[in-house]
Every structure is written in structure tokens, then in C-alpha cells.
Chain A
Amino acid sequence: MDVFDNVISGFSSALTLTKLMYCFFGVFLGMMMGVLPGIGAMATISMLLPVTFYVTPDVGLIMLAGIYYGAQYGGSISSILLNLPGTPSSAVICLDGYPMTKANRAGPAIFLTTMASFFGSIFAILLLFTIAPLAARLALSFGATEYFALMIMGLVAAASLAQHGVMRGLAMVVVGLMLGLVGSDVTSGTFRLTAGILELADGFSIIAMAMGLFGVAEIMSNLSGTSRNTTTTRKIPLRDLVPTREDVRQSPGPIARGGIIGAILGILPGTGASIASFVSYGFEKRISRTPEKFGTGHVPGIVAPEAANNAAAQSAFIPTLTLGVPGDAVMALMMSALIIHGIQPGPTVITDHPDLFWGLVASFVIGNLMLLILNLPLIGLWVRLLIIPYRFLYPVIIMLICVGVFTVGNSQFDVLQVIFFGLLGYGMKLVRLEPAPMVLGFVLGPLLEENFRRALILSRGDLATFIEHPISAGLLLASLAIILFSLRGERKSIASKGNKAKTGDA
């Protein structure tokens, strides 16, 4: 069997002491940096890039990759404990993770997301071992029309992120879309709505936005006392770190679905972990029999997106290594690490450097096991963070956010953006508008527009292109079905509850 050969050659290459050490170092550092708000994989990897010049390329890559997926594990921990996403892709974990903390269930929440991370990653790694080259073909079959249809589906999912009613959710999606308009327009090259500020040429910073809307806004509302839970979060019993039987029973389905969604979206260049986690949350809420429970500390609401963003982090390596097409900025960085070592990432990596490729994939398995073993005993420690009085915790968090956001682009302007989005998020909290649909609108908007216009250039203005391409037609049909299906559900719930249809299901 080919697959067995791959597995064996991979592990025999990855199981050396040096590689194990660098793998451990990478995942440990990645996890820690993921926990720290604002400092993500990107900043950490760019700081450690020079280290890779002194080791062989495979060792360097194993370490950098470890940082990347390790950060995905860590990102959700601060989302759960402090309503403060460590990375943009774990922003959606706040929705149900933080309510669990408020209900004194932080321990089980972290336990479950750790398991979800592990199984989500393992699922994507299995894909890597078995169908990497085939999956890479899928990435190439996605053109402008297909991306457009996919973004439409993402937006349909976005509406369901709303917790305080559909209209409010949709309104925030629209605000997010509008914020996404800021920056240079890909099709014409002109700067839009930048107010002459050169720093806005590439649009608002997604990291600054996530940190401001979730983190800074949360801290401000706690300080001002508008949040009702300032006292409850202080008393966390250290027992009950282990989830209940009910929690465990609810998890496998969402983890599996999240893993599949994440693995598929991770393969597509340009989508990545953030969209995967939002979409899988939306999807889980759609198919749930109890959508009203989402947002109140519902277990599927944390495990599905967590499985998805970890799966996406692993499968993002497929196009990078097999096609030489990086899925996101971090992947581009890893490719440059290879280039500096004289290895051209591209279609020939698997055949020219099989040890490197399969060794890296095997190191993913090892790294994820390490993360699992590392994380479970640490849960108690993480939860203890909540005992730190706010007067110490908050200044430290604000400082970390500012430092983290600054390191991404070495830009003071990005720190100003955090303040802007912090104030905006606080204002939104006062009038009960939610940030999650807005962030998703912001992420999807530019991709939606860019691909829509590109598809129309390619079809010479013919709108039929979206239904002539089978993948795009299928995705659009599915989106339509979701809307019709939920409209029916909405009508039912209105009929049964009279005018008080505040389920948030759309």
C-alpha cells in the first residue's frame, strides 16, 4: 500500500530526537502565543524565521508548522476564559465558550475544545496522508465563480450567528461588509474610503478588529459595570474540570462535521481557518434541533468551530506543499523558509523531497499528541487565571493586545485601530449589537466582491456564469435551500410563539 509506505517513511523521518525537540518547542511556543491575545502565529513565526537558517530545512519547517497549529489550540483558551480571542479564528469560540465560563464551566469547555482541536487536526492529517495530491486538484478547480458562490454560502451562515434576532444580525453583517470596502480595490487599483490615510490602503486590520471588538470592548464593559457577570467570574471552583456525560455525548457529531468543513475550507487558498470556524458554527446552529441554545454556553457551539479551525490549519498545508500555492500569509512565510534553504515549494516537493514532506506530515501527528498531553494537565492552571484580580489582569491584557497587534505590522496605526474598534465594540454592546456577524461580514465581503467582479470580467459580463459552473451552481442552490428551509422554520416559530420569535434562528 502506498499510504502505508508514506506513513512509515514519514514517521521514520520524524522520530529523531532533534526533530521531536524542535516539534515540542514549536507546538509549546505556538500554544502559548496563541493564548496571548494579539500575538498570533504570524508574529511568532516571523520572529523565529532566522532560527531556521541554522538547522536543516525539515527541522525548521517542523518547528514553524508546530507554532502554526499550536497557536490554533491556544487561541480558544482566552476566548473561553476572558471573551478575548487569542487569534481571529477563535473569535467565534467566544460566543458559547465565555457563557460556559460564566456558568463556572470553564474547565470542561477547555477540555472539550482541546479534544475537538485534536480530533479535527487528526482528521485533516488523515486527509494529508491519503489524498493530498488529489485534494490539491480540488483547490485548483475553485475559480472566481466558485469562490463567489462559497462566500454567498458563508454569508448565509453568518446570519445565524446572531443571538439577539435576525435583523440585528443582518445589520451587523452589512456593517462588516461596508468596513470591508475600505482599502484599495483589486479590480481598478483605486483607493476607496481611505480618507487619504496610506495605512488604510490595505483596509482595516482583521487582528485589530477582532481584538478591539471582542477583547477591549469586553474589558471596557466589565469596568463600567454594564456586564452583569463581574462577580460570577471571580468564583471558579477548581473541581469539575472534566466535562459531564451529557457534554461528551453532544460532541462527536459537531466535531466530525466541523472537521470536515475545516479540512475542505483549509484546502482552498485564501479562505483559511477564520472562515472555517465561523461557517462551521453557523452550519451547526442551522442543523441543530435546539438552535436557541447557541450563545448560552452550548457545547456544539465550541467544539464544531474549534475542530474546524484546527482541521483548516492542517489542511492548509496541502496546497502550499503540493502546488506551491500558499493559503494564507503564514503559509507564504513557511514557503519562504523553504526557499531560503534552496527548496522550491511546488508540485515537485513530494517527489523531490519525500522525506521532508512525509516527515512533516508525521510530525503533525506527533505535535498534536504533544499538544493534547500538554493541554489537559494545564486546564487547571488556565482556569486559575480567572482568580487574578481584574485590576492586574486587565492592564496586562490591554498591554499584550497592543504589543501583539503592533508586532504584526510594526505599525502604531494598527494600535489606534484597536482603540477605534474597542470603542465601537463597547458602543455596540450598550445597544446589544453583536460583533461576530460583523467580523464575518468583514472577512467575507472583500472576497465576495473581488471574485464576483473577476467572474464577470472572465464571463464578459454574463451573469449566467454562476449557474453554468457546476460547483458554483451547487453551492448557490444549497444556499438557497438553507434560506428557504430556515424561512419555513422561522414562520413556524412565529406561529407557535406569536410575535415573540426571538430564537435568533434565520
Chain B
Amino acid sequence: MQFGNLIRKSVLGALAVGTTAVLAATSPVLADYPERPITMVVGSSPGSGPDVLARSMSEELAAALGQPVVVQNKPGAAGNVAAEAVSRGDPDGYEIFIGTINMAIATWLPAKPPFDPATDFAIVGRVASIPNVVVVSPDLGVNTIEEFVDLAKSKPGDLNYSSPGVGSLQHMGTDAMANIHGIDIVHVPYKGGKASTTAVLAGEVDMFMAGMPPALPQIKAGALIALAVSSAEEFPLLPGVPTLAATVMPDYSAEAWYGLFMAKGTPPEIVDVVNAAANKALADPAVAERFASAGAVVQTSTPADFAGFVAQEAERWKTNLEELGLAGTR
């Protein structure tokens, strides 16, 4: 009896939910958005860089949107499994993907994912950027980036550098530096940025153009020396460390960027609501502080600005990978 009642209730409930969903999908008025919890999809495992950023801002984003924000991890293929799923999802604004620079790079690698970062998403806005930092072990005996370049020139083919994989930002950045100065330095790929950092700590390789999160604590502890940062301006948490642009790579800047993406076809009204909420959340000093301890700098934008930036990045890395002979043939 009780059970029958329960079933009837659930059926009615399901019907009600179904009807609302249909109404929501067909209704031209989107004023009600959001009316249920929102999922923030992370394309890597809990504890990874994008995951820390997502969790650092999810509370504030929820407050700004007026609905709970649930972080969901869907790791695989450097974030592209999740990116693809979100891109093809329902365009109702209830799934927000925290996308990374990998979307722009991996698109052009031999194993090309079935999406284009610039056209297959509703692009919401930028969240953060994380510059790279060139680190070496104190045992190498260099204290400036110029000294490092000189050392590498004097020992062609002797030095090694690590990276979290072929075609990664860290790999391409070092390769660009080597090209400018005609340096012969050997690339040793590792599984992830943490393993690449450990390789420098252990003295297995000589240099790593590291992402900030794994390198920062080691720099603070004096276990690694920071020679230069890859951003256009100096990194606030590493005062006194020059930029690559100001030293050995004029006009160069490249950073890992993070931004919010939704399914292709999501109405612009919803995109604007989420963009405004995200920018409000990112303006909270507590979020900025959490981002900083993860090595990230808060960045906000309008949807249009970020969409333009993503298209530009996709083009930039495509050219770069083609020069490296890594671009996809598919």
C-alpha cells in the first residue's frame, strides 16, 4: 500500500519533472534560469589544477546563481572526454565545463578530438590564468635565465628538460626558447607536471618550464630556483623573477588559461547570466586568495572577449604544432 503510494508519487513526480523540462526547453522566456542545481564538470581527476580552481569558486558561484553548484570529475584524454560530452550536452545551461588551454592544443595533435574549441561550445568567460615558470635545481649553478641559456649553448646536446608530454605548453615553450637561441637540449616527457617537477628536484633533468602549482612550493622552499616566468607581466607571487619577454624571448608570452564553456547552442541569455555570476564570484577576495595558493591569477572577461581569445589561441597553437611537425593529419 505504502509502496504503491510511493510508486504513484514517483511517477507523478517524474511526469512533473518531465513536463517542466519540456516547458523549459521550449519556452522563449528564460527568466527562470537557474531553477535546479548546476553541475560544474572538471575534465581531470579530483586534486588536479582545474579541479582545485573549480572547487575554489563553486561556493561563490552558487551564491551568485542562487542554486547549488556541484563539481563533477570526468577525467580522460587531458580533459577532452569531458569537453566533448559537455559540447554535445543539452543546451540548457545546467552543465558548465571548466575548460583549459588543452582544448586549444589537443585539437591539433595527431589524435584529434571531435570538437573545435572556438565553434563547438557556448563560451562563457575566462576564469584564471597560470603562467609557466622556468625552474632549475640549485645544483646546476645558474641563477639567471641568461646564465642558463649560456650554459645550454656551451654544452650542446648535454642538458635535458622535462615536460608533461609532447605538445604540452611546457614542451612548446621550451622548444621555442631553444629555437630562438639555437640551443640543443633534449626533451624528456613525463606523466604530468608533478612528475616533471620531481625530475628536476631529483636532478634527473636540468630544467623544466613548469606550470606554477607544482613548482611554487619548491621555489618557496629553496629546492628549485625560478629563472623566469612566461606571462607578459611578472607573477605577483614571485616578485623579482623576470619575464621571458624581458629577457631571452622578446615579445613571448604564453600562459595556461582556464575558462567556462557550455553546450553548443546554449541561449545567449543563459550565457550572460552565468558570465555575470562567475565574474561576481571571481571578484570575491576569498576566491582570489584560494586561486593564488594554487598558483593561479583571477581573470575575468565578457563572453565575446573570451570567445575571441579562444579562437586566437586555437590558431596560435595550431601554427606552433605544425612548425613542430606535430599537427594532426585527420
Contact = CB atoms under 8 A, between A and B. Distances in A.
Interface stretch (A87-95, A233-241, A323-331, A496-504): A323-331
A254 B56 CA distance: 45
Given A198-B81, A409-B75, A458-B204, A186 B191 contact: yes
Contacts of A232: none
B289 interface: yes
A199 B114 CA distance: 12
B140 interface: no
A411 B111 contact: no
A346 B221 contact: yes
Interface stretch (B126-134, B210-218, B305-313): B210-218
Interface of B is mostly: mixed
A462 to B, nearest CB: 13
Nearest to A351: B221
A456 to B, nearest CB: 10
B32 to A, nearest CB: 27
Interface stretch (A11-19, A24-32, A73-81, A335-343): A335-343
Interface stretch (A45-53, A106-114, A367-375, A389-397): A45-53
A446 to B, nearest CB: 9
Interface stretch (A136-144, A160-168, A213-221): A136-144
B112 to A, nearest CB: 10
Contacts of B77: 184, 198-199, 201-202
B46 A202 contact: no
B110 A410 contact: no
A85 interface: no
B217 A347 contact: yes
B268 interface: no
Nearest to A450: B191
A49 B55 contact: yes
Interface in A338-373: 339-340, 342-348
Contacts of B223: 346-347
Nearest to A141: B202
A346 B293 contact: no
B194 interface: yes
B64 interface: no
Contacts of A190: 110-111
A347 B221 contact: yes
Contacts of B197: 325
Nearest to A412: B85
A49 B46 contact: yes
A344 B81 contact: no
Nearest to A342: B293
Interface stretch (B10-18, B159-167, B270-278): B159-167
B246 interface: no
A187 interface: yes
B218 A458 contact: no
Interface in A165-202: 184, 186-191, 194, 198-199, 201-202
A136 to B, nearest CB: 10
Interface string B44-74: 0111100110011001000000000001111
A337 B195 CA distance: 19
B189 interface: yes
Interface string B23-47: 0000000000000000000000111
B256 interface: no
A336 B295 CA distance: 12
Contacts of B109: 189
A-B complex: 4 closest residue pairs judged by Cβ atoms: A346-B217, A189-B166, A201-B77, A333-B47
Given A42-B46, A49-B55, A50-B71, 4 more contacts: A46-B46, A50-B55, A190-B110, A410-B74
18 contacts: A42-B45, A50-B55, A186-B165, A187-B189, A189-B109, A189-B110, A189-B165, A198-B114, A201-B111, A329-B45, A339-B294, A340-B294, A344-B220, A409-B76, A410-B73, A454-B188, A458-B204, A458-B205
